[in-house]
């Protein structure tokens, strides 16, 4: 049985080349495609039309929740459930409860940002069809790849290949699942 | 693989726009990749073993022995006494937390301010942070006396119905230090993910491929992944920046909320932050100057980087000098006899008079040598100064803690303080832990953030001729 094709991998030598190719692919109306690079390519977010990443919201929700939760926790522990007089200080006062709550805000926001990144990128995903392609290993070194998946409604092996060739790809290959 | 060097002469901008290169821009992306992964992929060099074996001995034999002795016998094995209830334990705790701070400042604050030169040293500094915080966190845990009750510090529901009381800065400290450890580890690990993927892609053995692949979480370098990653990195660096200011502030508040003369000062939170960053820059220089030579990274961590770290150190030294003088001034100006007594004895006391002089001369005055460009270019001299800064900052904490405690309000209470061999060996053990972990990091992980360094070269800029921009030929 032949393995299922995954997509067409186009290799590029420079960030500018892959950026230009991405513009062409976008204008051609493809939906299921992505660009792979050893570092974030400046301007690619705009070309690919990414909205603001949701990671920031993860951080806000985690952090905000932790702050409110921590203020309530301190009030509950030191004023409600187990009030004990120490140094004549008030049982609960916002300025002193603020410090540990703020620390927990930072902790939870950081965890939230990390969890957000992991969740939005669908990590950990230790297998990817592209890992089978031997040339793709160069993506973390100095090559840039644009991959159009075969599941894209506009995908056609000949036409897509011609488009990517005209976009200046130095090497084209069909990757399999 | 075209790894040839491309001359940049043809691209030189007009003089008024010319800026120094952040990294050796004439190096291709492939060259940078090969060069920066050489250490984790190559053979273990001899110097590594020479350093690793004694460090690992201290970490694996000396420290556990001291901990077992301490916990089985009691805090009396240390030199702590009444009134000097805090000795080397808290001195070393504050010292290690301080060492950590420069790493976060370099990796997070300089990232937010878009200082591209930080990419070359950020990873190494961040690793320093993580390992130093681990060493720092050990001390408060073991100094409590009955270590097996240390978990009372955490808000865990108990059958006794007791809760920790959050009105003490010592309690805040528990949260601050643990948060610092978690956040800096996350920040460090997240920065590593693209480089772990790089090592996975280059791995020659199955074991390496599996392990690096496991921790790379399946990173492919897709634009969507970078998009979320960059946002998360930005958020994390913003949060880590907050910690630069709060962790040592809270450590400072441990002291400032006490009534003791020499501690009871409003300047303490800021004082401890400045001292921490200053000491940390010293440690960055101590680590990087030998490593850049031994790992052949002179092209990446250039003299410009060293020069900038020296300038940062100089700035922090000036702040420290200002704070020291302000402390003496306020001790006189406040008219408090206790304050005048403590600060007078810092310079002319019976026991610890050397501490005040070390603070002024080593921490305040000596780094002023960095005003001279000749000094900032002399690696041996920088290294010596950096080591002295670390020692000087250790003595600063000694002076603040022991120098203020040993003569408290009641003369019949006064007692000098002498550390014991257990104090010294425990400190040696934590140094061993730090250097063991650092050496393992240097050996098995990329010490330089490869993807970040590549990202700031002209080859990575799609609007630069070297990045393939149209209309210009490299």
Q: Which residue of B has its CA nearest to A86?
A: B167
Q: Is the pLDDT of residue B474 over 50?
A: no
What is the rounded CA–CA span in Å between residue A100 and residue A66? Answer: 10
Res. A2: pLDDT tops 90: no
Pairwise CB contact (< 8 Å): A38 & B469: no
Average pLDDT of span B383-410: 95
Contacts for B174 with CB less than 8 Å, ≥ 6 apart: B140, B153, B154
Final residue in a domain of this structure, among A90, A120, A150: A120
Contact B227 A36 (CB under 8 A): no
pLDDT bin (cut points 50, 70, 90) of residue B468 is confident
Q: Hey, is the C-beta of A85 within 8 angstroms of any chain B C-beta?
A: no
State pLDDT tens for residues A101-126.
999 999 999 999 999 999 999 989 88
pLDDT band of A34, cuts 50, 70, 90: very high
> Burial, A66: exposed, middle or buried (Cβ in 10 Å; 0-12, 13-18, 19+)?
buried
Report the range of poorest mean pLDDT among A168-172, B19-23, B62-66. Answer: B19-23
Q: Looking at this predicted complex, what is its ipTM?
A: 0.94
pLDDT above 70 for B424? yes
Residues A11, A47 within the same domain: yes
Within the 101-120 window of chain A, which residues sit less than 8 Å (CB to CB) from chain B? 102-104, 106-107, 109-111, 113-114, 116-118, 120
Token couple for B381: 């001299």
CB pairs under 8 A between A and B: 215
Q: Are residues A47 and A59 in the same domain?
A: no
Share of chain A above pLDDT 90, in %: 65
Asked if residue A105 and residue A63 are part of one domain, the reply reads: yes
Q: Which residue has the higher pLDDT, B384 or B245?
A: B384
d(CA B182, nearest CA chain A) in Å: 7
Asked if A10 and A133 count as a contact pair (C-beta separation under 8 A), the reply is no
- For B281, residues 6+ apart whose C-beta sits below 8 A from its C-beta are B102, B309, B312, B313, B316, B386, B389
Per-residue model confidence (pLDDT) at position B420: 96
d(CA B105, CA B360): 24
On whether the pTM is more than 0.90, the answer is yes
Q: What percentage of chain B carries pLDDT values higher than 70?
A: 94
> Is A42 in the B-facing interface, judged by CB distances under 8 Å?
yes
Mean pLDDT of B202-220: 94
Mind listing the pLDDT tens digit for each residue in B72-96? 999 999 999 999 999 999 999 999 9
Give me the domain span that covers residue A73.
Answer: 55-120
- Encoded tokens for A90: 């008030």
pLDDT attached to residue B5: 53
Name residues 214-253 of chain B within 8 A of A (Cβ): 214, 217-232, 235-236, 239-240, 242-243, 246, 250
d(CA A147, CA A13): 15
For B113-151, what is each residue's pLDDT tens digit?
888 888 889 999 999 999 999 999 999 999 998 999 888
**The pLDDT of residue B9 is above 60:** no
Other beta carbons within 10 Å of B210 = 13
**DSSP states of B319-357 as a string?**
HHHHHHHHHHHHHHHT--HHHHHHHHHHHH-SSSHHHHH
Portion of chain A with pLDDT greater than 70, in percent: 99
- What rounded mean pLDDT belongs to chain B? 91
Contact between B397 and B95 under an 8 Å Cβ cutoff? The reply is yes
Of B166, B167, B468, the CB nearest to A17: B468
Helix (H) or strand (E) holding B35: helix B29-36
If you measure CA to CA, which chain B residue comes closest to A121?
B225
| Count of the separate structural domains present in chain A | 2
CATH number of the domain residue A36 falls in:
3.30.70
Q: What is the pLDDT of residue B22?
A: 58
Are A107 and A134 members of one domain?
Answer: no
Given a cut of 90, whether residue B178 has pLDDT beyond it is yes
Indicate the class that CATH gives domain B41-153+171-467.
Answer: mainly alpha
Q: Can you give the pLDDT at residue B1?
A: 42
A12 in the same domain as A44: yes
**Is B186 at the interface with chain A, CB within 8 A?**
yes
At residue B18, the pLDDT reads 62
pLDDT value for A61? 97
**What pLDDT is attached to residue B350?**
86
A46 shares a domain with A100: no
Instruction: Select from B353, B171, B461, B383 the least CA-distant residue to A17.
Output: B461
Q: Is the pLDDT of residue A130 over 50?
A: yes
- pLDDT at residue B465 in the model: 82
Nearest CA to B261 out of B392, B406, B395, B155 is that of B406
What letter would DSSP give residue B447?
S
pLDDT band for position B24 (cuts 50, 70, 90)? low
Do residues B84 and B143 make contact, with C-beta atoms less than 8 angstroms apart?
no
Same domain, A24 and A108: no
3-state helix, strand, coil in chain B (%, to 5): 75, 0, 25
Residues of A in contact with B235 (CB under 8 A): 55-56, 59, 109-110, 113
Band the pLDDT of B221: cuts 50, 70, 90. Answer: very high
Do residues A23 and A44 share a domain? yes
> Which pLDDT value is given to residue B14?
66
Length of chain A: 177
Per-residue model confidence (pLDDT) at position B284: 94
A77 and A108 together in one domain: yes
Condensed to tens digits (0 to 9), the pLDDT of residues B305-331 reads: 999 999 999 999 999 999 999 999 999
Q: Tell me: do A103 and A151 sit in the same domain.
A: no
Same domain, A80 and A164: no
Whether residue A141 and residue B202 make contact (CB cut-off 8 A), yes or no, is yes
């Amino acid at each position: 049985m032949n393995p299922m094709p995954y997509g067409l991998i186009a290799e590029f030598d420079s960030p500018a080349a892959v950026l230009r190719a991405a513009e062409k692919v976008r204008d051609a109306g493809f939906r299921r495609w992505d660009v792979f690079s050893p570092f974030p390519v400046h301007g690619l977010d705009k070309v690919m039309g990414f909205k603001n990443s949701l990671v920031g919201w993860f951080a806000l929700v985690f952090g905000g929740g932790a702050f409110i939760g921590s203020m309530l926790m301190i009030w509950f522990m030191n004023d409600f459930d187990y009030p004990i007089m120490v140094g004549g200080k008030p049982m609960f006062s916002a300025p002193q409860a603020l410090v540990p709550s703020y620390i927990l805000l930072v902790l939870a926001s950081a965890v939230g940002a990390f969890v957000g990144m992991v969740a939005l990128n669908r990590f950990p995903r230790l297998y990817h069809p592209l890992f089978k392609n031997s040339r793709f290993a160069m993506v973390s070194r100095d090559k840039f790849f644009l991959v159009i998946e075969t599941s894209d409604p506009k995908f056609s092996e000949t036409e897509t290949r011609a488009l990517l060739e005209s976009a200046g790809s130095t090497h084209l290959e069909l990757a399999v699942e | 693989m075209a790894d040839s060097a491309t001359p940049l002469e043809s691209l030189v901008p007009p003089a008024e726009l010319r800026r120094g290169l952040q990294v050796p821009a004439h190096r291709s992306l492939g060259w940078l990749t090969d060069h920066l992964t050489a250490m984790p992929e190559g053979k273990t060099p001899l110097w590594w073993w020479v350093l690793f074996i004694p460090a690992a001995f201290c970490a694996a034999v000396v420290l556990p022995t001291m901990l077992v002795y301490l916990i089985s016998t009691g805090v009396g094995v240390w030199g702590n006494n009444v009134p000097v209830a805090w000795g080397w334990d808290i001195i070393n705790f504050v010292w290690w937390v301080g060492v950590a701070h420069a790493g976060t400042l370099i990796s997070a604050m300089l990232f937010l301010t878009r200082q591209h030169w930080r990419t070359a040293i950020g990873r190494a500094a961040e690793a320093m942070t993580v390992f130093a915080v681990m060493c720092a966190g050990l001390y408060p845990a073991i100094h409590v006396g009955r270590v097996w009750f240390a978990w009372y510090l955490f808000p865990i529901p108990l059958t006794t119905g007791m809760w920790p009381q959050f009105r003490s800065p010592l309690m805040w400290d528990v949260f601050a230090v643990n948060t610092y450890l978690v956040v800096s580890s996350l920040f460090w690990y997240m920065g590593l993910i693209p480089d772990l993927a790089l090592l996975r892609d280059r791995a020659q053995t199955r074991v390496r491929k599996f392990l690096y692949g496991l921790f790379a979480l399946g990173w492919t370098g897709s634009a969507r992944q970078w998009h979320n990653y960059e946002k998360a990195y930005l958020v994390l660096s913003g949060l880590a920046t907050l910690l630069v200011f709060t962790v040592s502030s809270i450590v400072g508040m441990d002291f400032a909320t006490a009534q003791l003369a020499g501690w009871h000062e409003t300047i303490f939170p800021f004082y401890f932050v400045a001292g921490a960053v200053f000491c940390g820059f010293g440690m960055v220089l101590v680590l990087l100057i030998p490593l850049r030579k031994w790992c052949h990274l002179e092209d990446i961590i250039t003299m410009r980087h060293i020069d900038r770290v020296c300038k940062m150190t100089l700035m922090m030294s000036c702040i420290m000098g200002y704070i020291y003088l302000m402390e003496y001034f306020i001790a006189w100006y406040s008219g408090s006899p206790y304050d005048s007594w403590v600060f007078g004895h810092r310079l002319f006391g019976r026991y610890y008079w050397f501490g005040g002089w070390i603070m002024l001369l080593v921490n305040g005055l000596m780094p002023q040598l960095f005003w001279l460009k000749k000094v900032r270019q002399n690696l041996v001299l920088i290294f010596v100064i950096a080591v002295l800064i670390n020692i000087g900052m250790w003595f600063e904490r000694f002076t603040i803690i022991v120098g203020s405690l040993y003569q408290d309000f009641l003369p019949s209470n006064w007692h000098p303080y002498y550390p014991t061999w257990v104090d010294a060996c425990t400190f040696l053990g934590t140094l061993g832990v730090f250097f063991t972990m650092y050496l393992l990091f240097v050996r098995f992980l990329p010490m330089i953030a490869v993807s970040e360094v590549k990202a700031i070269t002209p080859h990575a800029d799609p609007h630069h001729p070297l990045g393939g921009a149209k209309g210009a030929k490299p």
